[in-house]
A and B are shown apart, each in its own frame.
Chain A
Amino acid sequence: MSKTIIKIALYLNGSKRYKETKNLFFNLLYNSNYIYKRYFDIFMITLILLSVGILVYEVKNPVPQWVDDFDVYMVTSIFSLEYLLRLWVYNDLHRMVIKEYNESIFLNRSFQIKIPLKAFFMGKFSYITSPSAIVDLLAILPAYRPLRVLRIFVLFRIFKLLRYTKSIHQFIEVFATKRFELVTLLFLLFFIVITAGVAIYVFEEKANNNINSLFDAIYWALITISSVGYGDISPVTPAGRVVSMLIIISGIAMISFVTSVIVSAFSEKLSELKEGRIVEEINKNENFIIICGYGQMSRMFLREGGILSATYVIIEKDKNRVEMGIKEGYNIIQDDASRHDVISKFNISNAKITLLALTGSDINNIYITLNAKSLSKNIKVIVRATNDRMGKKAILAGADNVVLPNITANKILLFAITQPAIYRAIYDIMTGQHLAHLDEIPTLYYYKLVGKKLKTIDFKRYQLLFIGFECAKRKKFIFNPSLELEIAKGDILLIMGRRVSIEYFKQLHEEVSI
């Protein structure tokens, strides 16, 4: 028996399809960075709204049978399936079995299935008893028609929305940050209401026909303190009116206090919420850039390339710089990019990320590089360094490329003095300006070029200069090749000219290879 269980566990552990399936459902249900989760959430929200709509409409109006069937069978089945899937992905029995099996071999003791089974069921039980799982389960109940009272559980379908709408979730989080203040106020409210209720009961129980019990008195106190004042119960004795005045004054104070607590909670959390949104938005992309440090270098980078706002995020420690960045309209968050948890907020496992370490400090840039590379080797890191030595250290830390702004600028300065004639050419080529814009034409996207001989393409007509091409077959760049050469699939042409000429040339030859 044990052997069969271990075999099954090992099979599941080695099964790629099983892992992929479970991962897919996990991502759909829990991973907010997963691109398709958004669609799943929208689908579930629609389903919830439809079912709530049907249940509410049904209270006073007859609904067609097919609508009822849709609610009973379709919606409930999907909710039930979702509940079961969440339960399934919560933990893995096969992992626990393998762990126990390995431990039993290591400790030279017999394999005991009850240990992993216990851990497995405990895990499932802890999930089942979690508030969100209880809400999920109760949200299924309104479909049970014989018991109409169960329809009240339609409320749980509305609570279920919490799972899929982040803003409500964030709203609750904001309240949670002021839990202490709010709980203190609640106790104070409770104290005042009880005291005033007891006082009015003692003073008016005999004199006031509307106060017949302590409950009536407490009800009056709560209605008065909240400044609602229905008017169904009002004090008739001088003592009762004094209590009223005191409770009204304390009510005003409490409402002001609660308002200020909530407002301050929101203002404190506002920037965090905004930053959370920026991270969430950027994580929706398959490719994006994280720019560490907001200074002249980052500004220049953003200005130069026309980077789309959805594809980058700046992380800056300094508050003043962050404020400046926000004023200038950039996606910027205040945080320390050298911290593990800051970079791990991004969709490292699924997205192609390029990190630019552009702070003014070599030490910070190298630390940021190490931090990013320790999280994932797949993050491409480009580092700014002040000199060659620092550049070498950055490479040792794992940087893929290094830029040396001071050294490069000095080299160009040297050209400006020693070789003034070519200075303009060098500066324009290196900054990609004016007529010296270097660009690549990958034939995979400009397929019309494939099969043509170089001599048949009149680059001059387009005011372009053909520099050379990367031969896909030889995996080598060939400078100024023979014009008899034929362009093959996968080759990349390198041309120079005005941006407008290049764009026109690309437009004429655009065709994607299938």
Chain B
Amino acid sequence: MSNKQRAFLFGYSKRSKFLIEELKKKSFLLSVIASSKEAYNQAKEDGHIDILQLDITDDEALERLNVSEDDYLVSLLEDNHFNVFLTLSLHSLFPKNKIIALSDSSHTTQKLKMAGATKVIDIYQVSANRIHNILHKPLATKVIEKLFSPDTTFSLREITISSSSPLQNKMVDDINFFKYGIILIGMIDRQLSQQFIFITSGLEHELNYNDVMVCIGYDKDLDRFEADNQ
């Protein structure tokens, strides 16, 4: 992960605090934009230095932010109307940037997508599905929890095909993942698209430089696979 990657976080609230802390740990350059004086003061009180206060409805102020094409724009405003409006403004001003937004309902999710958000995360969807899993699929719940728990050696990992990888030009079906005790669940096949494709889609894939495989397994097995194939 490049330590020069930058993210603009719009909105300072309980929602954004966790993200700010975690992104800082991952050496992201962060710019927090508070939309109100209270939020700005609160952020200052909480010890955040790189914080600006601006009127998010003012396009000229947004343009002055000095956003480059690789920067992430994260819309975390608590008011859905402002969140959608900001997403639309950001999309019109910075059409090439990735815009990520939080939503609290399926209606808002739809509006955010229409407004130009690249990724919309519904706060309640994941938890609602988790409750269903708890009720009906205890085993699936256990595995998912294990997979995303910070204290586990069992994880999902993205493995990028390097220029020297022996996997280049091989068909996915020809690779023996089982030998390493890992499972390939999907990949980004750059020849097809930039989108993640699940292996269960049934497509045949040839691996090329810069393709990304996403595997599931124990860390030691994933390490072994990576070491042998880079």
Q: Residues of A at under 8 Å CB distance from B? A: 289, 296-297, 299-301, 303-305, 354, 356, 382, 384, 386, 401, 403-414, 416-432, 434-436, 438-440, 463-465, 467-468, 470, 477, 479-480, 483, 492, 494, 496-498, 501
- Please tell me which one of the listed residues A296, A417, A430, A479 contacts residue B130 in the complex, with CB atoms under 8 A apart: A430
CA distance A432 to B200 in the complex (A): 14
Write out the residue numbers on chain B whose beta carbons fall within 8 Å of the beta carbon of A429: 144, 147
Asked whether, in the complex, the Cβ of A494 is within 8 Å of the Cβ of B140, the reply is yes
Asked whether, in the complex, the Cβ of A416 is within 8 Å of the Cβ of B119, the reply is yes
Asked whether, in the complex, the Cβ of B200 is within 8 Å of the Cβ of A413, the reply is no
- Please tell me which one of the listed residues A289, A435, A438, A497 contacts residue B137 in the complex, with CB atoms under 8 A apart: A438
- Please tell me which one of the listed residues B22, B104, B121, B133 contacts residue A432 in the complex, with CB atoms under 8 A apart: B133
Asked whether, in the complex, the Cβ of B129 is within 8 Å of the Cβ of A435, the reply is no
CA distance A182 to B18 in the complex (A): 63
Residue in chain B with minimal CB distance to A434: B198
Instruction: Answer whether residue B206 sits at the interface, using C-beta atoms and an 8 A cutoff.
Output: no
Query: Are A417 and B198 CB-contacts (below 8 A) given A426-B156, A494-B140?
Result: no
With A413-B100, A463-B202, A494-B143 known, 13 other A-B pairs at CB within 8 A are: A296-B123, A297-B124, A300-B106, A305-B128, A403-B131, A405-B126, A412-B126, A418-B1, A436-B185, A438-B133, A464-B200, A479-B218, A480-B217
Write out the residue numbers on chain B whose beta carbons fall within 8 Å of the beta carbon of A465: 183, 185, 199-200
Identify which of B142, B147, B148, B196 gathers the most chain A CB atoms within 10 Å of its CB: B196
Asked whether, in the complex, the Cβ of A297 is within 8 Å of the Cβ of B102, the reply is no
- Please tell me which one of the listed residues A386, A423, A440 contacts residue B139 in the complex, with CB atoms under 8 A apart: A440
Instruction: Answer whether residue B175 sits at the interface, using C-beta atoms and an 8 A cutoff.
Output: no
Residue in chain B with minimal CB distance to A492: B139
Asked whether, in the complex, the Cβ of A430 is within 8 Å of the Cβ of B106, the reply is no
A-B contact pairs, 20 of them (CB 8 A): A300-B122, A304-B128, A382-B131, A405-B123, A416-B121, A417-B28, A418-B23, A425-B185, A425-B186, A425-B214, A429-B147, A430-B144, A430-B148, A432-B132, A435-B201, A463-B200, A465-B183, A465-B185, A480-B217, A496-B185
CA distance A304 to B1 in the complex (A): 35
Query: Are A409 and B122 CB-contacts (below 8 A) given A296-B104, A421-B188, A428-B198?
Result: yes
Write out the residue numbers on chain A whose beta carbons fall within 8 Å of the beta carbon of B169: none
Instruction: Answer whether residue B154 sits at the interface, using C-beta atoms and an 8 A cutoff.
Output: yes
Write out the residue numbers on chain B whose beta carbons fall within 8 Å of the beta carbon of A435: 198, 200-201
CA distance A19 to B169 in the complex (A): 75
Asked whether, in the complex, the Cβ of B126 is within 8 Å of the Cβ of A468, the reply is no
Asked whether, in the complex, the Cβ of A405 is within 8 Å of the Cβ of B133, the reply is no
Q: Residues of B at under 8 Å CB distance from A? A: 1, 7, 14-15, 18-19, 22-23, 26, 28, 72, 74, 98, 100, 102, 104-106, 119, 121-140, 142-144, 147-148, 154, 156-158, 160, 178, 181-183, 185-186, 188, 195-196, 198-202, 212, 214, 216-218
Asked whether, in the complex, the Cβ of B202 is within 8 Å of the Cβ of A426, the reply is no
Asked whether, in the complex, the Cβ of B143 is within 8 Å of the Cβ of A477, the reply is yes
Write out the residue numbers on chain A whose beta carbons fall within 8 Å of the beta carbon of B143: 438, 467-468, 477, 479, 494
CA distance A297 to B156 in the complex (A): 27
CA distance A240 to B133 in the complex (A): 81
Residue in chain A with minimal CB distance to B184: A465
Write out the residue numbers on chain B whose beta carbons fall within 8 Å of the beta carbon of A467: 143, 183, 216
Asked whether, in the complex, the Cβ of B140 is within 8 Å of the Cβ of A440, the reply is yes
CA distance A269 to B121 in the complex (A): 43
Write out the residue numbers on chain B whose beta carbons fall within 8 Å of the beta carbon of A492: 139
Write out the residue numbers on chain A whose beta carbons fall within 8 Å of the beta carbon of B129: 304, 430-432
Residue in chain A with minimal CB distance to B150: A411
Asked whether, in the complex, the Cβ of B130 is within 8 Å of the Cβ of A403, the reply is yes
Asked whether, in the complex, the Cβ of A421 is within 8 Å of the Cβ of B199, the reply is no
Write out the residue numbers on chain B whose beta carbons fall within 8 Å of the beta carbon of A483: 178
Write out the residue numbers on chain B whose beta carbons fall within 8 Å of the beta carbon of A410: 15, 18-19, 22
CA distance A403 to B126 in the complex (A): 9
Write out the residue numbers on chain A whose beta carbons fall within 8 Å of the beta carbon of B14: 386, 406
- Please tell me which one of the listed residues A404, A421, A498 contacts residue B212 in the complex, with CB atoms under 8 A apart: A421
Identify which of B124, B135, B139 gathers the most chain A CB atoms within 10 Å of its CB: B124
> Can you list the 9 inter-chain pairs with the closest CB atoms, starting with the nearest?
A424-B196, A435-B198, A300-B128, A405-B127, A300-B124, A301-B128, A438-B140, A409-B123, A403-B127
Asked whether, in the complex, the Cβ of A426 is within 8 Å of the Cβ of B198, the reply is no
- Please tell me which one of the listed residues B74, B125, B144, B154 contacts residue A417 in the complex, with CB atoms under 8 A apart: B74
CA distance A463 to B202 in the complex (A): 6
CA distance A381 to B139 in the complex (A): 18
Asked whether, in the complex, the Cβ of A413 is within 8 Å of the Cβ of B19, the reply is yes
Asked whether, in the complex, the Cβ of A422 is within 8 Å of the Cβ of B156, the reply is yes
Asked whether, in the complex, the Cβ of B123 is within 8 Å of the Cβ of A411, the reply is no
Identify which of B129, B199, B214 gathers the most chain A CB atoms within 10 Å of its CB: B129
Write out the residue numbers on chain A whose beta carbons fall within 8 Å of the beta carbon of B7: 417
Asked whether, in the complex, the Cβ of A480 is within 8 Å of the Cβ of B178, the reply is yes
Write out the residue numbers on chain B whose beta carbons fall within 8 Å of the beta carbon of A300: 105-106, 122, 124-125, 127-128
Report the minimal beta-carbon distance from A425 to chain B, rounded to whole angstroms: 5
Query: Are A411 and B131 CB-contacts (below 8 A) given A405-B123, A477-B143?
Result: no
Asked whether, in the complex, the Cβ of B23 is within 8 Å of the Cβ of A425, the reply is no
Query: Are A411 and B137 CB-contacts (below 8 A) given A304-B128, A423-B119, A467-B183?
Result: no
CA distance A405 to B18 in the complex (A): 13
Write out the residue numbers on chain A whose beta carbons fall within 8 Å of the beta carbon of B188: 421
Query: Are A417 and B124 CB-contacts (below 8 A) given A411-B148, A479-B154?
Result: no
Report the minimal beta-carbon distance from B210 to chain A, rounded to whole angstroms: 11
Asked whether, in the complex, the Cβ of A404 is within 8 Å of the Cβ of B127, the reply is yes
CA distance A477 to B146 in the complex (A): 11
Write out the residue numbers on chain A whose beta carbons fall within 8 Å of the beta carbon of B18: 406-407, 410
- Please tell me which one of the listed residues A305, A426, A494 contacts residue B132 in the complex, with CB atoms under 8 A apart: A305
CA distance A496 to B147 in the complex (A): 14
Write out the residue numbers on chain B whose beta carbons fall within 8 Å of the beta carbon of A413: 19, 74, 100, 102, 121
Residue in chain B with minimal CB distance to A501: B200
Write out the residue numbers on chain B whose beta carbons fall within 8 Å of the beta carbon of A414: 19, 22-23
Write out the residue numbers on chain A whose beta carbons fall within 8 Å of the beta carbon of B105: 296, 299-300
Write out the residue numbers on chain A whose beta carbons fall within 8 Å of the beta carbon of B1: 418
Report the minimal beta-carbon distance from B22 to chain A, rounded to whole angstroms: 5
CA distance A438 to B132 in the complex (A): 12
Report the minimal beta-carbon distance from B30 to chain A, rounded to whole angstroms: 10
Write out the residue numbers on chain A whose beta carbons fall within 8 Å of the beta carbon of B142: 477
Write out the residue numbers on chain B whose beta carbons fall within 8 Å of the beta carbon of A425: 156, 185-186, 196, 198, 214
